[in-house]
Amino acid sequence: MERTLFRQIKSLTRHTKLATLPPMKLKWLKLQHFRNYDDLELQLDAPLTALVGLNAQGKTNLLESIAFLTLGKSFRAGKALETLKWDRPHGRIRACIERKGKEMQLEVFLQRSPEIKKVKKQSKWTTPKNFLGSLRAVLFTPDHLGLITGNPQARRQYLDRLLVQVDKDYIEALTNYQRILNHRNALLKRIQLGRAQEWELDLWDARLGEEALKIWKKREVFLDFLKHDLEKKYISIAGKGKQLTLQTHLNKDRFEERLIAHRSNDVQTGTTSLGPHRDDFTLFLDDKELSESGSRGEQRSAVLVLKIAELKYIEEQTGEKPLLLLDDVFSELDEKRQKKLGELLGHYQCILTTTSLDHVKGLKQAKVYWVKEGALQG
């Protein structure tokens, strides 16, 4: 892990374009009744902010709140209201960001009853489509090993969470597709019960196909970007002469024709068996599926390739450097590489968590906060 992370970040500094891109800055964060925080105000004026504390004190909760502002939802909870402090009727996440010299304020508002989740931009309520992309961040946690070993949903989320940050058209297509998919599935269940006819699927299939093609077009652009020099990217991280390749499973050929062919099966199951909601991709190392035959170190190296791709793709698409959120990645680094890592992380505004002050004491320009039971001390 130590050598892997060191090489990964070192490789980022070899591109001259990196140094010229303006960074996106998070200036302050305010939480009200979010997870274990009642009222928190956190100034983020340092290039590197380290959140230090024991487990289950609220460090990852802070990263979650920042990621919430990038995604419009939690990366940990199935429902947004699960992040609301259990005994409170409502809560907020507020932040001020700076992009290309201009400040912007963002807010997520949550209410328990009636259930409400609303977003605000520059003090005005707005739509999720207009809100997403206001703040961009790349998050790396130990759980991301599931990108290799987990189910296809984890890999679809990886694609969606990246693309909604950089492409408004993708947000719209994904939203429309999910709405149409829900209608089609509901109609399948009515057909199953004899309350509707199969020909009624024609309209929904055509509309589903339109939005599916838009999603596949956007996903293919990124996946082609990811495939480019994939072997070199892996070797630069792992230091091993093994060939990393990517196989995609988008199932887009003759989509509407195949939807019709699968209608009987879909009616029996009450669900749609084809489409972007079934997409997946597989990583292979020397022609062997990485999830089955790769060592934990090899799988971790591949995850880092995916996270680098996120950083680079956001930079290429937007001309700005995103925030870098690191959840407990220093636990296996020695002091020398902790110091070197601190120098290299200067290319991004970075917010990281760790369980030990020893992991960050050699980092320059680091602002350290101790986190204990939902309280911070600088």
Q: What percent of the chain has pLDDT over 70?
A: 91
E-only strand ranges, 153-279: 244-249
Rounded mean pLDDT of 156-165?
97
Measure the CA–CA gap between 239 and 301, rounded to whole angstroms: 10
User: pLDDT band at 332, cuts 50/70/90?
Assistant: low
Q: Is 333 helix (H, G, I), strand (E, B) or coil?
A: coil
User: Could you give the CA distance from residue 39 to residue 64 in angstroms, rounded to a whole number?
Assistant: 16
Range from 35-49, 155-169, 335-349 carrying the lowest mean pLDDT? 335-349
- Mean pLDDT of all residues in the chain? 90
Strands 323-327 and 137-140: parallel
Residue 75 burial class via C-beta count within 10 angstroms: exposed 0-12, middle 13-18, buried 19 and up:
middle
- The answer to whether the beta carbons of residues 234 and 188 sit under 8 Å apart is no
Where does CATH 3.40.50.300 sit in the chain? 1-136+323-378
CATH 1.20.1050.90 in the chain, residue ranges: 145-319
Calpha distance 2→142 (Å, rounded): 14
Looking at domain 1-136+323-378, does it have CATH number 3.10.28.10?
no
Mean pLDDT of 350-358: 90
Residue 144 token pair: 């991301």
- Beta-ladder partners of 375: 372
323-342 average pLDDT score = 66
Q: How far apart are CA 117 and CA 115, in angstroms?
A: 7
What is the DSSP secondary structure assignment for residue 22, as one 8-state letter?
P
Select the CATH number that applies to the domain covering 145-319 from these four: 1.10.3720.10, 1.10.760.10, 1.20.1050.90, 3.30.499.10.
1.20.1050.90
Least confident stretch, 200-214, 270-284, 316-330: 316-330
* Residue pair 7/74 in contact by the 8 Å Cβ criterion: no
pTM, to two decimals: 0.90
Average pLDDT of span 11-20? 51
Overall average pLDDT of the 183-200 stretch = 97
Question: In which band, very low, low, confident or very high, does the pLDDT at 320 lie, cut at 50, 70 and 90?
Answer: very high
pLDDT the model gives residue 24 = 93
Query: How sure is the predictor about 363, in pLDDT bands with cuts at 50, 70 and 90?
Result: confident
| 77-94 average pLDDT score | 95
Mean pLDDT for the stretch of residues 311-315: 94
What confidence category does residue 357 fall into, taking pLDDT thresholds of 50, 70 and 90?
confident
- pLDDT bucket at 308, cuts 50 / 70 / 90: confident
Predicted local confidence at residue 12, as pLDDT: 47
Residue appearing with tokens 């909604």: 164
Q: Please name the residues in contact with 144: beta carbons below 8 A apart, sequence gap of 6 or more.
A: 303, 306, 307
Q: Can you list the pairs that 289-294 forms with residues at least 24 positions away whose Cβ atoms lie under 8 Å? A: 290/148, 290/244, 291/148, 291/149, 294/148
- 175 band by pLDDT with thresholds 50, 70 and 90: very high
